Amino acid sequence: EVLPEASYIFTNHIPLMDFPAPTFDKIIPIGGISVKTQRKSLQLPEKWDKFLGIRKKNVLISFGSNARSADMPEEFKKNILRVAESMPEVTFIWKYENEKDTLADHLKNVYLGDWLPQNELLGDPRLSLFVTHGGLASVTELALMGKPAVMVPLFADQARNAMMLKRHGGAQVLHKTDLGDSKVIKKAIEEVLFGQLPSMDPYGRHQSYFEYYLLDIISIALLIILTVSYISFRILRCIFGLCFRSKKVKHE
């Protein structure tokens, strides 16, 4: 009873990013209202500022607060570290809830933290990529900060959120079982970091001469015009013929 009678309903979504859906004037989207986007409010702690300055490419890894990376299957952890080891030119900052764990001690380009200033890191222009589970809060921050992502949805609405960004060309989406294959993980990360930008490739480059200059459309349009003109001419000719024949008969 309360919800239908409400004068206004505020929802946590961004219409330009979301899938098309019917709505009412009383529904007011306020997605991202809590995200800090002003430079002055995005001051990084010295520790993380230092890490971002070591290499040109930086990747943030976080699977949220409900899915703890420390509880991830060992094989998944090892595969992520194998990817990091094979990309020494990239810094990996991983939200890992057990900083005492020694699994990444042998890697100079991996930094673990049980808590990360995610909003501030995403707002830093030196951050290149976000590997995330696709929670709504993370997706909203990604969209407002303009960062690309590799998304690994785990449960609930995360698969929908991941596809929502993918349809805009802002993310690569992996299935959670893909974490069992380091080659798949690396391919997705490399494609975002070093791959081409399909959105910047003019479609006309892949069209034939006939298609590029719309000759196929023009040909069909001309054919329709000529057909209609010919039929109209024949109809008018028949009408005039009948009219003149009728007058001739009456005259006789």
Taking CA atoms, 59 is separated from 56, 125, 148, 190, 223, in Å, by: 10, 12, 10, 11, 56
pLDDT of residue 199: 65
- Determine the Cα–Cα distance for residues 30 and 21; give it in Å rounded to an integer: 16
Whether 51 contacts 57, CB under 8 Å: no
In the structure, what pLDDT confidence band is assigned to residue 248 with cuts at 50, 70 and 90?
Answer: low
45 vs 50, 102, 116, CA distance in Å?
9, 24, 10
Contact in structure between 115 and 80 (CB atoms under 8 Å): no
Q: What pTM was computed for the model?
A: 0.72
Q: Which of 107, 93, 109 is nearest to 60 (CA)?
A: 93
Segment of 45-49, 143-147, 162-166, 219-223 carrying the highest mean pLDDT: 219-223
pLDDT of residue 48: 87
Quick: pLDDT tens for 148-207: 899 999 888 889 888 988 888 888 899 999 999 999 999 999 888 887 766 666 777 788
Question: Does the pLDDT at position 29 exceed 90?
Answer: no
pLDDT digits (tens, 9 = 90+) for 69-110: 888 888 999 999 999 999 999 999 999 888 788 888 888 999
- What is the Cβ-side half-sphere exposure of residue 187, based on CA atoms within 13 angstroms? 8
